[in-house]
Chain A
């Protein structure tokens, strides 16, 4: 089964790294939707279903916190597992994002192995 993926980050380089790591992880990926901020992500989610969302926090236009708030408020989207990937590893930030709909939180820097493990957990894929 191929999973539909969304990566939300304002850095094209970071989006490319995340997609490459996932492609190399062995997890079967179908379509991969890329967005530069929360608003772009919501626009894409209006047209496409995804199985998992990986999002940054600190982004222009709509940051990750507001993005998760909008996901929570939408009954069609609120159950999509969200993995937050951020440079901000403070307890305060992680707690706030988990209080919203984040299922997991990954601090940068992260190794490819840890990203793969988190993805497998959230997707329910056996390693």
Chain B
């Protein structure tokens, strides 16, 4: 499967996850890799299987907050704790990564590590998930953006 086909899987899995479990839809889906503006939440995980690899998600903090409110059914998103927002961002990464791997290799079992979410201040360079990740997918939403990174062959 080439990079364009994997991008399509990533885009489909991302949109389906955002729609069904986070009750939102992106305005634009692209291959853009540029870091979203402002503070971020980053979540990464590795997977073992055939093939192994790693997956990363970077979210604008307002996107992470809004999605956590949708996921948890919170009426006041300002009342959410950073830990809750980080955990939900980790779930987003976990669900999208699992969906992509299932679509890639429906007959092969795989194991996902637990997602590790971190807060990244606006002036912090943050983790470089793009390094060595040939497939990226960017979702632009009204509150900011989500960028997903997928790399194979460098699993845990």
Contact = CB atoms under 8 A, between A and B. Distances in A.
Interface of A: 10-14, 16-17, 20, 58, 60, 86-93, 107-112
B51 interface: no
Contacts of A110: 20-21
Q: Is the interface of B mostly helix, strand, loop or mixed?
A: helix
Contacts of B105: 90
Contacts of A10: 114
Contacts of B73: 16-17, 20
Contact of A90 (B13, B91, B94, B110): B110
Interface of B: 13, 16-17, 20-21, 68, 71-73, 84, 87-88, 90-91, 94-95, 97-99, 101-102, 105-112, 114
Contact of A14 (B91, B98, B108, B111): B91
B99 A108 contact: yes
A88 B111 CA distance: 8
Contacts of B84: 13
Given A90-B109, A92-B107, A109-B21, A11 B87 contact: yes
B99 A90 contact: no
Contacts of B17: 108-109
B87 A107 contact: no
Given A11-B87, A17-B21, A108-B99, A90 B108 contact: yes
Contacts of B109: 88, 90, 92-93
